[in-house]
Amino acid sequence: MNLLQELGLDRAALSADLARARVLVVGDVMLDRYWFGDVSRISPEAPVPVARIGRMEERAGGAANVARNIASLGGKASILSVVGDDEAATALERLMLEDGITTLLKRDAAISTTIKLRVVARQQQLIRLDFEDAPSREILADKLEQYQAVLAEHDVVILSDYGKGGLTHVTRMIELARAAGKPVLIDPKGDDYAKYAGATLLTPNRSEFKEVAGSWQNEEQLIAKAQALRAELQLDALLVTRSEEGMTLFRAEGALHQPTFAREVYDVSGAGDTVIGTMGLALAAGLSLPLAMSLANAAAGIVVGKLGTAVCTQQELFAS
């Protein structure tokens, strides 16, 4: 029995619902560059490996990877973000258009598009180089106006916070989404969750949640801390992803836990993007939070078996 049969979902009907679902993703986008090579010697200049690069890849990362996951699962994704007016922004937009994503990118000539450059040799990351700037207040104000303009065209809003400054107006964005009757899901960053108050769902990972709520000794303490935070922030739900322990959904009705779906973990980077992207798309398609979590858990289990900021396709998910 596959996942859809276990959940009592019809494949054709779900596929049609996903195709109609429209999700607006707002947040920090970045260009992930991978340089693949081989290492056979140590540099005579310093005790560091010399990587001879044989292949290069570019992928849309950050909030753009959330949108990629939505599109790969058969949904309609729009991405609203601030980028530089540079070659990296052009490459990023091209990649997203190739994936069928509607791009609403504000170009800011005063900054550089965020780039994460990874050098990989023998399936191991040697180094990561980050290039980034914070967007200006003026361009962020323009983005907020555009957010208001396109909100009605979408079923669900996902705010993907990577701490790069793109969600300066996150509190106002939540207010506008809720006033418009749109569920708003947030992948949080940092230790100040007060700004996320009133959201439909937050999806922190285990370490992010611990940074805000403190450590716990057992499951009862975890549940108490999660429910206290959910109530304090007036959230509909809180989803804590717990790596090899699976994920737990906390609602007023109680806690619902699912064990990990991963068969083999290769790379966990981007798994959080897959979780929130799948959750948002499933809710936009009319599924309940528990059903959305089941799909997100399965999708995350698939992407951690891939290298880098990968996505789960609808075919892979339905076959799981």
Mean pLDDT over the full length of the chain: 92
Spatial separation of the C-alpha atoms in residues 295 and 313, rounded to whole Å: 12
Which of 17, 108, 161, 273 is catalytic? The answer is 273
Residue 28 among the catalytic residues:
no
CA distance 173 to 48: 46
Residue 11, both tokens: 């494949």
What per-residue confidence (pLDDT) applies to 269? Answer: 64
Q: What is the pLDDT of residue 250?
A: 97
End-to-end, the C-alpha distance of the chain in Å comes to 9
- 290-317 pLDDT tens trace: 999 999 999 998 988 887 667 999 999 9
Q: How far is CA 297 from the centre of its chain?
A: 13
pTM for the model: 0.92
Q: What is the pLDDT of residue 55?
A: 95
Question: What are 152-205's pLDDT values in tens digits?
Answer: 999 999 999 988 888 989 999 999 999 999 999 999 998 899 999 999 999 999
The domain spans of the chain are 3-31+61-113+133-319
Task: Please count the CA atoms within 13 angstroms of the CA of 21 that sit on its side-chain side.
Answer: 30
pLDDT at 265 over 80: no
Instruction: Please determine, looking at this structure, whether the domain spanning 3-31+61-113+133-319 carries the CATH number 3.30.750.210.
Output: no
Higher pLDDT, 286 or 242: 286
Residues whose CB falls within 8 Å of the CB of residue 267, separated by 6 or more in sequence, listed in order: 304, 306, 307, 308, 310
Reply yes or no on whether the pLDDT at 266 is more than 60. no
Residue 308's pLDDT is what? Answer: 67
